[in-house]
Chain A
Amino acid sequence: MEKTLLKIENLSKSYGNFKAVDKLSITIKKGNVYGLLGPNGSGKSTALGMVLNVVNPSEGSFEWYEGKLSTHEALKKIGAIIERPNFYPYMTAIQNLKLICQIKKCSYDNIAAKLELVGLWNRKNSRFSTYSLGMKQRLAIAAALVNSPELLILDEPTNGLDPQGIEQIRKLITLIASMGTTIILASHLLDEVEKVCNKVIVLKNGVKFYEGPTDQITQTHGYFEIGATDSKKLKSYLESIPEVKQLKWTDTFYHVSLNDSLSEEKLSQLLANETIFVTHFIKKQPSLEQEFLTLTQ
């Protein structure tokens, strides 16, 4: 049985009449990488804020380490970054990390290694205010890792970064995940979540909408994109195939979703028998992004 790190039960937060988070229950177990998805304003950051001791819950409860540790004690053992990096601007990277070590009651031994890991070692004595956004974001990751946390919470770690920066952070997250650290990753970059996370939690309007393994969410029969010169004939024939669930015309081809498995070979054979010659023929698996959009519509 995997160890439970965090258990959230019926957690709610309302701002006046507006329910930012509504009766949310989640269990975070050790060894998993969770993707926390949801459109803007779906309550991801509020939910994370509550378990991170900065937002007071309106109702419900949560417990860290099966209730063995108080919230602030538990937070010393984990690492978290939220929305944007917050450090003392007049202090250097090293000074900021030392301060965090003092709060977390961990030794300074890790500082050098973590700064190396995020590629900031040669700027270690520069003040935080002189850093670029990408460097600030990477320093935040170093800070979150400095106590070798059991659980890493990342809320939009690639927000506002350039493509190179996003790529760097993505590689870092993959590396950290491969070292066996439990991660909760809240992000809009769904291909990133799809690559790294093995579990997905989707929030919508403060309510948990979906929870399950990442591959399950995308595990469908796939879909075809088919186009032909005689599109009328194509349409009428496709509609007669029992495996076809839905047809959707998209400018030059039909988007054909399936309700049962149908191989490329089989379909092309069928079409050839009907002497329909295709100009466009692709079978695709839906990405998490597409599924997410369908789910949250």
Chain B
Amino acid sequence: MAVLSTIKVEIGPIEFYLAEQGIFNFPYIWHFNTFIISLLKIFFAVIIVAMVGNEYSYRTLKQNLIDGLSKKEFILSKAYTILAFVLLSTLLVFIISLILGSLYSDYTELLIIFSDLEYLIAFAVKLFGFFSFCLFLSILIKRSAFSLGFLGLWQVFEGICFGLMKWKLSDIIPQLSAEQVFQFFPLNAMSNLIKEPFTRLSAVQNIAQELGDGLTKDYSVSVLGIIIVLFWSFLFIWGSYIILKKSDL
């Protein structure tokens, strides 16, 4: 995350014209930064998967259980670690955005600065959901490399599902659209929380309007989305516990 902040600061001056386009304007910066920085969540995911994978390969999980740790305590300790990662990342993205914004933003009124903060909540929930999924996969698969591979495969699987539903679903159940079902898929639900911010930029909007294709898209954070992701997170952590409880080490 320290590296991340330097990258961000470097990007600032280099793509200065972008800043003038308003990417660092409050409150848009909350949307933009949470979206960009959440792409880097994979680094934390690697740490989580490796952390759990090591517990298996070093057999320290077995030893810890023998020493009197309960399986519930083990899962909770991992969940707390995830929560700590989430809070740390959220705090960092808040500070980075605040600094970048105060350097480059055209608007500096307090009310504007601290509006649209729901993107930070969405960021935290998104990361928590994603890390819970990683925890679940690493408990399920036990080996770090395979868990990460499976994560990639799952992304592809969701994509294929969406494609299939888009193609056939309306024929089978006309009342349902593919998007309506797809929003409940875990990875898609997470990525839906913060929608891509690029088409929201005024420059892009202008181009689109000139082309006669006005973009009207809802960029806000949906409460249903947050509930879906929190539900998945709970399911993943609970599922990890159940798997661990049933497995022989």
Which residues on A are within 8 Å of B, measured CB to CB?
Answer: 49, 52-56, 70, 72-77, 80, 82, 84, 86-89, 100, 103-104, 143
Q: Which residues of B sit under 8 angstroms from A89, Cβ to Cβ?
A: 58
A219 to B37, CA, bound (A): 75
| B6 interface contact, C-beta 8 A | no
Chain B, range 52-83, C-beta contacts under 8 Å to A: 58-60, 62-71, 73
A86 to B56, CA, bound (A): 10
User: Judging by beta carbons under 8 Å apart, are A54 and B69 in contact?
Assistant: no
Q: Report, nearest first, the 5 A-B pairs whose CB atoms are least far apart.
A: A76-B68, A75-B68, A86-B63, A72-B70, A86-B59
Q: Which residues of A sit under 8 angstroms from B65, Cβ to Cβ?
A: 52-54, 72, 75
| B223 interface contact, C-beta 8 A | no
A143 to B60, CA, bound (A): 13
User: Judging by beta carbons under 8 Å apart, are B62 and A86 in contact?
Assistant: yes
Q: Which residues of A sit under 8 angstroms from B247, Cβ to Cβ?
A: 56
Which residues on B are within 8 Å of A, measured CB to CB?
Answer: 58-60, 62-71, 73, 245-249
User: Judging by beta carbons under 8 Å apart, are A103 and B248 in contact?
Assistant: no
User: Judging by beta carbons under 8 Å apart, are A56 and B68 in contact?
Assistant: no
Out of A54, A75, A84, A104, name the residue touching B249 (CB < 8 Å).
Answer: A54
Q: Which residue of B lies closest to A140 (CB)?
A: B63
User: Judging by beta carbons under 8 Å apart, are B66 and A53 in contact?
Assistant: yes
Q: Which residues of B sit under 8 angstroms from A88, Cβ to Cβ?
A: 58, 60
Q: Which residues of A sit under 8 angstroms from B66, Cβ to Cβ?
A: 52-54, 75, 80, 82
> How close is B227's CB to chain A, nearest CB, in angstroms?
34
A74 to B66, CA, bound (A): 10
Most chain B CB within a 10 A radius of its CB, from A56, A82, A88, A103: A103
> How close is A124's CB to chain B, nearest CB, in angstroms?
19
Q: Which residue of B lies closest to A56 (CB)?
A: B248
Q: Which residues of A sit under 8 angstroms from B63, Cβ to Cβ?
A: 82, 86-87
User: Judging by beta carbons under 8 Å apart, are B248 and A72 in contact?
Assistant: no
> How close is B53's CB to chain A, nearest CB, in angstroms?
13
A56 to B64, CA, bound (A): 16
